[in-house]
Amino acid sequence: MFFELARLALSNLTRNRSRLIMTVSGVIVGTTAVMVLLSLTYGLQRAAESGVGASSALTEIRLYAPPAFDTRIEDAPVLDDETLDELRQTPGVQTIIPTVNFYGAGELVAGDYRSYAPILGIDPALLSTLDLEVDQGEMRLGPGEVIFGGQVNQYFVDPESTDYEPVTVDIFAEQIELRVTSYSDNRQRDIRLRPSALLKSGTGLYDSFMFMPLDDVLDLNEWVTGETVSRRDLRYDQAIVRTTDREVTQDVAQVFRDLGYFVEDAGDFIRQLNNFFTTMRLVLGGIGGIALIVAAFGIANTMSMAILERTKEIGVMKAVGARDGDVLMVFLVEAGLVGLVGGGIGVLITYGIANLVNNAIQQAGGTGEGGGIFFLPFDPSRIGDQLLVIPSELPIFIIAVATIVGLGAGLWPAVRAARLLPVVALRSE
């Protein structure tokens, strides 16, 4: 029955072709606008996430044991080799890399210039599991060697100057020393640093850190504090957790939080990023939606006209036994079809536009630095090859929305048609 009425609706639709084409065009423009703008936000979000994701920060959690002196926490969890082995069994955890902090000030001296960088001591055997990207040098940590975070070299200042203008130091060419001060007697010692690698800048959490072999850091700590550190039952200051997948990172972080550890992850950042893009989607989707609303008025107008023209037929249909619901159905299906077809064509057009734009981006990217995408407010290389990203569920969503808009726009005219008294409909001119 429904399909029979739908067939009738379909044949009714094609009665006034030019009007149909214009009405559907309105829906096409509306859905294309909404979908292009939404896929732009997905493209931009991907670009923004790739800026973070390159450093694999999205699969990284930093874990801290509560300080031992904080007596408010009973049974405070610790980070030692035994507990770490247990924590490694947590689902979603790929690896855990424990580190110790250097307890001194860590002043860096390069000629006249000074800087500070926190130092993390790490087991050199675990270095490869950190997924660090090297800009210069080689990824290794032999005794006495240091890996510099990507921005450690960029913030040296001359303490004698007045403007504290930061300068970048070539850590491989200049002689760099670490100035350590003993707690007890303020003795100072300058240790010559042997840089093995400078990490890529802007890739995550370690831009301003330095890595040194665990044993070297423990030695330095003993020297500055004057206390012996037990290597056997070593309490680590923190641990870097790498998860198997970015999707599970927040869940794993929550597990550790529940165990009483202090946890730091990129989750907050990702959440903010997601919030930002959700807002952006609402705003841009709303702007595109205005075109869709205009199209809805077009459908409503077309349906009102069609019903006016066919009032007598509605009377005939009722005279031969059509229920109010049958009449309603015929006109609703007509309006819904306008939305469905317009939405479908809009989706196809959007795929075409996305292909064109993304191809243009790829071409521009191919020319290297200073490629042609001058209007973008950020580095086009970050976009990769797609400015417009269409998630697989978006076309279904768009077509569904267009159909619902059609049904909504057709509802009132269809209800009016269904409620017509047969005698009034038959006598209308």
Contacts with another protein by CB under 8 A lie at 1, 4-5, 8, 11-12, 15, 312-313, 315-326, 421-423, 426
- Nearest approach in angstroms of CB 422 to another protein is 4
Greatest alpha-carbon span in the chain = 110
Closer CB to another protein, residue 250 or residue 311? Answer: 311
User: Residue 242 forms beta bridges with which residues?
Assistant: 60, 95
Closer CB to another protein, residue 13 or residue 197? Answer: 13
Give the number of other CB atoms < 10 A from CB of residue 417: 26
Closer CB to another protein, residue 83 or residue 311? Answer: 311
Q: How far apart are CA 336 and CA 24, in angstroms?
A: 11
- Nearest approach in angstroms of CB 389 to another protein is 44
First to last CA, the chain: 30
Closer CB to another protein, residue 317 or residue 383? Answer: 317
- Nearest approach in angstroms of CB 26 to another protein is 24
- Nearest approach in angstroms of CB 16 to another protein is 11
Q: How far apart are CA 199 and CA 209, in angstroms?
A: 10
Polymer length of the chain: 429
Q: How far apart are CA 334 and CA 339, in angstroms?
A: 9
Nearest Cα neighbor of 142 from 186, 65, 194 is: 194
Q: How far apart are CA 261 and CA 96, in angstroms?
A: 14
Tell me if 297 sits within 8 A of 405, measured CB to CB: no
Tell me if 83 sits within 8 A of 232, measured CB to CB: no
Closer CB to another protein, residue 8 or residue 54? Answer: 8
Closer CB to another protein, residue 303 or residue 317? Answer: 317
Closer CB to another protein, residue 328 or residue 407? Answer: 328
- Nearest approach in angstroms of CB 11 to another protein is 6
Residues 6+ apart with CB under 8 A from 135: 150, 197, 198, 199, 200, 201
- Nearest approach in angstroms of CB 315 to another protein is 8
Structural element, H or E, at residue 87? helix 81-87
- Nearest approach in angstroms of CB 318 to another protein is 7
Residue 234 sits at the vertex; the CA angle it makes with 83 and 141, to the nearest 5 degrees, is 105
Instruction: Give the amino acid at 261.
Output: Y
